[in-house]
């Protein structure tokens, strides 16, 4: 198992991390994966090879439909096929787990998530309205038989049911077939702690990284991508593929226990895109860069009174700058976490991209 970035003595940003340096440092948040790997060699659409999966983010321990969380989202570049964002943008609430998977599996994942929510709520569609499933995606077709749509209902259920506080990153779950800045990418996570009004709060991020060019990769303000590319071309003499165009995407999920309203969370989601920019992303034309942010501080009861009272950090308070900084730093580090922990994957038609050479960064 590959080590996380900080285990090499490396860091980005200035704020302290949470205990796990993960989105699950936000109390109540859990993450589960199902990784699907089978077959090898030539692509036979519908049969394999399979290099894909599902990642589930559980926002809190209760019934998320009956106790919704305040949320919002921001689309940096909209070349994406996500489900559920329109209602989140309109109503400002999140009412299901968040499912991450590959592009052509959004439909089955959405259907499975609806089935899961129906199993917990007999009133949906009978005595109350319907439910808004949230499924976010990236395209893993370079390494995976994406046409085969190998993600099934049971994989979504298993990812949800296996969710826990401590989880793996890298080439797991939805990240199995993802590529980041020409290196193997996937699932990455990080967190930051901030103090507001004498109380410590947490901002955590989980990313599905599948974007960027190696030439543009930046670490702590320094372009390391070109040096890494030269090293790879010298050492492996073209045995592995390099991705020259930025056609990928990145899904950013930000969780916090800072009390924020939907407007504040939209502003936090926007800062997630700045975290990508710090790694060298310019959000290419074919990129789907989407950020979703939610707060666990307030719960909106589905069967509540017509008026609700919530605590929220004022947008006129400069204290919100701390949240913005934490979001940017957590997203930036989560990108690197996805690459440092990613394992080697040989995909369909023997496609392979290099894993990030950790020794290049290691502090001597």
Active site residue ranges: 249, 287, 289
What is each CA distance from 15 to 31, 192, 218, 254, 271, in whole angstroms? 23, 6, 19, 16, 15
Nearest to 40 by CA among 32, 31, 49: 49
Residue 273 token pair: 């895109």
Nearest to 174 by CA among 140, 141, 145, 150: 140
Q: Which CB contacts under 8 angstroms, 24+ apart, belong to 115-124? A: 115/153, 116/156, 116/157, 116/160, 117/65, 120/63, 120/65, 121/63, 121/65, 121/66, 124/65
Please confirm whether the linkage preceding 349 is cis (ω < 30° from 0): no
Dihedral over Cα of 204, 189, 271, 139: its sign: negative
Nearest to 97 by CA among 294, 323, 337, 299: 294
Q: How many CB atoms lie within 10 A of CB 9?
A: 10
Q: Is 228 exposed, middle or buried (0-12, 13-18, 19+ CB in 10 A)?
A: buried
Residue 106 token pair: 């959004």
232 three-class SS? helix
Element (H, E) at 327: helix 320-340
């Amino acid at each position: 198992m590959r080590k996380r970035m900080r285990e090499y003595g490396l860091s980005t940003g200035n704020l302290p991390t949470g205990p796990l340096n993960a989105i699950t440092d936000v109390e109540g948040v859990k993450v589960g994966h199902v990784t699907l790997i089978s077959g090898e060699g030539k692509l036979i659409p519908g049969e394999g090879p399979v290099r894909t999966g599902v990642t589930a983010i559980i926002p809190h321990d209760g019934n998320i439909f009956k106790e919704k969380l305040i949320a919002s989202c921001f689309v940096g570049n909209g070349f994406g096929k996500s489900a559920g964002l329109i209602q989140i943008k309109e109503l400002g609430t999140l009412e299901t787990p968040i499912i991450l998977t590959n592009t052509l599996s959004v439909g089955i994942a959405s259907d499975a998530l609806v089935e899961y929510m129906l199993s917990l709520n007999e009133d949906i569609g009978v005595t109350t309205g319907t439910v808004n499933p949230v499924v976010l995606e990236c395209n893993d077709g370079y390494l995976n038989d994406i046409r085969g749509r190998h993600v099934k209902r049971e994989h979504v259920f298993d990812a949800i049911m296996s969710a826990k506080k401590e989880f793996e990153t890298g080439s797991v779950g939805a990240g199995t077939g993802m590529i980041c800045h020409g290196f193997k990418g996937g699932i990455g996570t990080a967190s930051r702690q901030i103090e507001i009004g004498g109380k410590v709060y947490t901002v955590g991020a989980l990313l599905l990284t599948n974007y960027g060019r190696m030439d543009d990769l930046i670490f702590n303000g320094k372009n390391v991508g070109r040096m890494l590319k030269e090293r790879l071309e010298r050492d492996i003499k073209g045995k592995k593929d390099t991705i020259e165009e930025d056609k990928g995407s990145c899904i950013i999920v930000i969780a916090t226990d800072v009390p924020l309203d939907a407007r504040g969370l939209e502003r936090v989601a926007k800062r997630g895109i700045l975290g990508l920019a710090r790694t060298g992303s310019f959000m290419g034309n074919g990129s789907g860069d989407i950020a979703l942010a939610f707060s666990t501080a307030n719960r909106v009861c589905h069967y509540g009174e017509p008026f609700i009272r919530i605590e929220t950090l004022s947008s006129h308070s400069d204290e919100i700058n701390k949240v913005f900084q934490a979001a940017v730093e957590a997203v930036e580090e989560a990108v690197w976490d996805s690459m440092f922990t990613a394992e080697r994957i040989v995909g369909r038609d023997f496609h392979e991209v290099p894993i990030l050479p950790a020794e290049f960064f290691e502090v001597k």
